[in-house]
Amino acid sequence: MGKYAVIGLGGFGFHVAKALFEEGEEVIAIDVSRARVQAIDAYSSQAIVQDVLDKDALMSLGLEEMDAIIVSTGDRISTSILVSLYLQEMGAKKVMVKAVDEDHEKILKRVGATQVIHPERDIARRVAQSLVRPNVLDFVPLAEDYDLIQTAPPKEFVGHSLRDLNLRAKYNVHVIAVKELVPENFVLAPPAGFVVKDSDILMLLGKTSDLERIKEFQT
């Protein structure tokens, strides 16, 4: 069981805390609003009413023992920056903070955030990808310019082995796994001799620009 803390229980923070709790994880939920804390009480291991700008009180909660801390304080930019700084000073292992824009992200990274979240932007990208590239089933942005996608194989790939396709050399794209649907099977790090079928789902890792070249086969 993992141990997590969620600071800020607006829409995003509430649903993150609830989802973690429903996955069987230990969740400490924190907000200055008593109403929000009461709303999350049934979906957390411990729900705390706390002004997180009170540094001493925040440090007394033992959050440095958490596997990760998610900070979502809405449009209160200064609050998220100070909380990130306090958590970094107390030695928190992983601090994930919701940002409102790119400048906010830059500041958060400087004061100790280990990961910055842009939920609206990321959801927008998913929606756009699903409309523009319907054969791409899902994608995960990993870092700037890199993505992990799940996609149906272009017809040009079907019947060919990964060795013959040579995607790494031709496109600088790595096939890290294949989901076989007929029969159902998951192949992690498939061998070079693996032959792609039209019923397979390919999991591809690479730069966004290189993955786009693969997607062009599907248009």
Q: Domain 3-117 belongs to what architecture?
A: 3-Layer(aba) Sandwich (3.40)
Residue 110 confidence (pLDDT) above 70: yes
76: helix, strand or coil: coil
List, in sequence order, every beta strand (DSSP E) within 121-194. Answer: 136-143, 146-151, 174-181, 184-188
pLDDT tens digit sequence for 54-100:
999 999 999 999 999 999 998 888 999 999 999 999 999 999 999 98
Distance CA 59, CA 91 (A): 10
Mean pLDDT score of the chain: 87
Domain ranges of the chain: 3-117, 124-218
For domain 124-218, say whether CATH 3.30.70.1450 is its number: yes
Distance CA 173, CA 57 (A): 48
pTM of the model: 0.62
Residue closest to 32 by CA, chosen among 79, 68, 66: 79
Asked if residues 94 and 115 have their Cβ atoms less than 8 Å apart, the reply is yes
Residue 184 confidence (pLDDT) above 90: no
